[in-house]
Amino acid sequence: MPARDMDIPADTLPERAAVRAEAARLLERFLAAGAQPVETEILQPAGTLLDLYGEDIRARAYVTADPLEGEMMLRPDFTVPVVQMHMAGGAEPARYAYAGEVFRRQEHHGARAREYFQAGFELFARDDTEAADAEVFALFAEMLAPLGLRAATGDIGILRAAVEGLSTSPARKAALLRHIWRPRRFRALLDRFGGRVPPNETRKRLIASLGHATPEELMASAGPMIGLREPGEIAARARALAQDAAEPPLSGSEVETLDDVLGLRGTAPVALAHLRDVAVDLPAIGGAVERLARRLDALAARGIDVETLEFEASHGRSTLEYYDGFVFSFVAEARPDLPPVATGGRYDALTRVLGQGREIPAVGGVIRPGLVVALREGIA
């Protein structure tokens, strides 16, 4: 997997004018594919937006306060504000394109650019979501073909379906779903729920204490409150721990099946055949697997060589957390130290969150003009 979204070192970036020209060229290509040009404000209201990004982006957002508007942030990406704009009254179906700067703090990444360009394409359409996935991917593949990049695909929807099909409590499923984008935390939870790792001593003592007293009684005997959590939150968490301790562990076969899905990597046809076999033991993924099959047919119809297309079930688990289906990236295979030149995917759930009762299937992606120029000119 490529590293999380990072830029190349600032002192090796191509000239800003060249990057801006490349961003304009990419935008024109998106417009030629039927997109409408859109712009979003550089300064965005923080509010719910910070909750929609992955923890990596949230930690790297430039946040400030406005005396009239409240908490604001410099735009860390385009997709969320474009979705907000569309859900406020855009026509359907719709294709949008944009190009401009995004801003991300880089304290943990050394001398990397804190401001760089993105050019992107977003497609909102209710009919034939697999065809929409194929349209976006094929457009990016055509535009990036001169660079000889390696394309990889995945499907967060298959992972979500696999978790939802486990024989365990809704609370445990919710915890696993919440941490799909945090592989280490997900692994720790899966090991604990599967009985591979016993609870730590602190957790065991708390659970044992709950057998003799209510959470409220334990808090009253613990002394003064320290920290920001309210008593009700603490009590609810204690009850949740007790309820979880009473749950039987996941069966070894279910954990092995989920591990099998998580580790699946190969060409798309081989992965599809394997997932169909897995679906015999885990029927919950059947619908998502057949959507993958229809997507591959749609990709083939657009001239993509699906026989050699890479599929990795865990692809996209360290990118933006609003992706919930098809995901893809294009990387410079000879430069594994660089971030992806392009990334994208499906984010249907995001439109539900921002639509205030409305929703529409949506898929899109972004290209990094700076990396395109750097690779083309041999700078990177």
CATH architecture of 1-149+357-380: 2-Layer Sandwich (3.30)
Q: Is 150-195+251-331 in the same CATH topology as 1-149+357-380?
A: yes
Residue 29 in tokens: 């290509």
- Report which DSSP code applies to 202: H
Alpha carbons within 13 A on the beta-carbon side of 313: 24
Please count the helices (runs of H) and the strands (runs of E) in the chain: 16, 12
Residue-level pLDDT at 10: 46
What is the Cα 268 distance to its own chain's centre? 20
Distance CA 300, CA 311 (A): 15
Going from N- to C-terminal start, the domains of the chain cover: 1-149+357-380, 150-195+251-331, 199-248
pTM equals 0.84
Q: Do the Cβ atoms of 30 and 97 come closer than 8 Å?
A: yes
Q: Do the Cβ atoms of 263 and 313 come closer than 8 Å?
A: yes
Strand partners, 112: 9
Specify the higher pLDDT residue, 240 or 146.
Answer: 146
Asked if residue 105 has pLDDT above 80, the reply is no
pLDDT in tens, 27-67: 999 999 999 999 998 888 877 666 676 556 667 778 887 88
Q: Do the Cβ atoms of 190 and 210 come closer than 8 Å?
A: no
φ/ψ (deg, to 5) at 131: -65, -35
Amino acid at residue number 317: R
Q: State how far the alpha carbon of 256 is from the alpha carbons of 48, 166, 190, 197, in Å.
A: 37, 12, 11, 15
pLDDT in tens, 175-232: 999 899 888 999 999 998 998 776 666 655 655 665 555 656 555 555 465 655 566 6
Distance CA 127, CA 204 (A): 51
Domain 150-195+251-331 class?
alpha beta
